[in-house]
Amino acid sequence: MSWYTGFATYAINWGLVMFMVLPWGVRRIDPEDLGEGDDPGAPANPRILLRAAITTVAAAVIFCLIYVVFISGVFSFRV
């Protein structure tokens, strides 16, 4: 696996995992705390940095599994 194939694989995995992690533990803003122009469906505390850290670790684990399968030759990607 070349470095750019590995990077592309990791980047795609990171994006997919981020979409899976985003809804975890989301709590909406209380109706009493809504201000003028606030979206009632907006999260009260998004914690994006925590979600990015979880995503990075999970994507690294998934990438390692993909890399091991690719290197081991279980599946042949060459024609």
At CA 19, angle to CA 16 and CA 21, rounded to 5?
Answer: 110
Is residue 1 a contact partner of residue 70, using CB atoms and an 8 Å limit? yes
CB 7 within 8 A of CB 59: no
Q: What are the tens digits of pLDDT across the range 8-39?
A: 999 999 999 999 999 888 888 777 777 787 78
**Cβ-based neighbours of 25, under 8 Å, separated by 6 or more:** 47
Whole-model pTM: value is 0.78
Residue 43, Cβ neighbours under 10 Å: how many? Answer: 15
Q: Report domain extents, the chain.
A: 1-27+49-79
